[in-house]
Structure 1
């Protein structure tokens, strides 16, 4: 029963976090001159257009089950199918890469604040919705902060890597971009060595408290 309730609490926040993250990338690219995602039907709030069987389903579920089995508190995170972006079709490719890359984490930050506002509204309504809704809204804050922070790591092809490429001077940017084929191996190494446990995940709790403070929750 604990497993079922935990999955139910986390399912909607994870699905929304990943779907809106990817749709935001596509929308930003479309506004800045690249219609690739639009033509592929990927600027959509339909989760089925973005679901990746491993990143959207297996990985978050695996983390939830690991937490239940071990008592750990790793924030569930995952990924969707990457929205196709042709950076060469952007009106100002290097500059606009920043905005396209930043759109995903910005969508997650906005959702974290949205879930915080829902907790504030629930409090104002004397707890209407009960513990289940409160747990889901809290999960919404945590999963969106985790996805935002993870994607802001300066490792291409993560969003933070794209942002770094956009901001670095030309020659240095192209050299840095050559790390992209090794980006996911670097990320897996950081996860395996538990570097993120000490560098990234500890940021979630204070950011969560800040969001709750700013939203009056």
Structure 2
């Protein structure tokens, strides 16, 4: 069974917890920002909540266990209800990935603090493993969702920042972008395209986190 999974069997409990946390806050962030800008669509459909059941997609969750990345249930957004559709659209789109970044940042900070203060002694190993997985998966989702492919948040950000003429062209070819994205994700091409980007982003973000917390703790400790 393990050969069909993207993670080792002993990692699965940590993966599940980290995914529930990541997906729930990601979708809640989309819904919350949309609500604040005047769109009640997600709220009316029960998506303005931190209840994971409202946000998890069974197939998307299974896919991340098998392939290493997946998706939650997209939050419905009606951009016509926004007072400033372009600005609100960008902020709604970026809210999800940003929530994952913040979760990873906080989890890394807790992990770093534990190591600095105790060296990990006396701390249950499962807790440290859980923190590592929370950091890894949230950074992964942060970077993955900012890729400029439909239907990811990165594509929606580009769409909202584009002029009306460019947006019309993007809409015209969106279905082909989705097809290209699926080909890159589910075929061996991912090892030469998407995964190098993700791995580079994960490594770079982890190094940035480490530098930030090294600086903070060198000042205050």
TM-score of Structure 1 vs Structure 2, range by shorter chain: 0.7 to 0.9
- Mapped partners of 1:117, 1:41: distance in 2: 32
- Are 2:166 and 1:172 equivalent residues in the alignment? yes
| 1:172 Cα offset (Å) | 0.8
Which of 195, 199, 202 is 1:201 aligned to? 199
Q: 1:104 — aligned with what?
A: 96
- Mapped partners of 2:66, 2:173: distance in 1: 28
Q: Deviations over 1:47-69 (max 9, x none)?
A: 1011111102x112224xxxxxx
RMSD: 2.0
Q: 2:60 — aligned with what?
A: 55
C-alpha change, 1:173 and 1:197, in structure 2 (3 Å) is same
| 1:136 Cα offset (Å) | 1.3
Q: 1:92 — aligned with what?
A: 84
What is the SS of the residue equivalent to 1:214? Answer: helix
What is the SS of the residue equivalent to 1:41? Answer: coil
Q: 2:30 — aligned with what?
A: 25
Give ranges in structure 1 of 5+ residues lacking alignment.
64-75
Which structure is larger by alpha-carbon Rg, 1 or 2? 2
Moved more, 188-197 or 139-148: 188-197
Q: 1:73 — aligned with what?
A: none
Q: 1:68 — aligned with what?
A: none
The structure showing larger relative contact order (alpha-carbon pairs under 8 Å, at least 6 residues apart) is: 1
Give ranges in structure 2 of 5+ residues lacking alignment.
none
Instruction: Count the aligned residue pairs.
Output: 204
- Mapped partners of 1:8, 1:177: distance in 2: 40
| 1:96 Cα offset (Å) | 1.4
- Mapped partners of 2:151, 2:168: distance in 1: 13
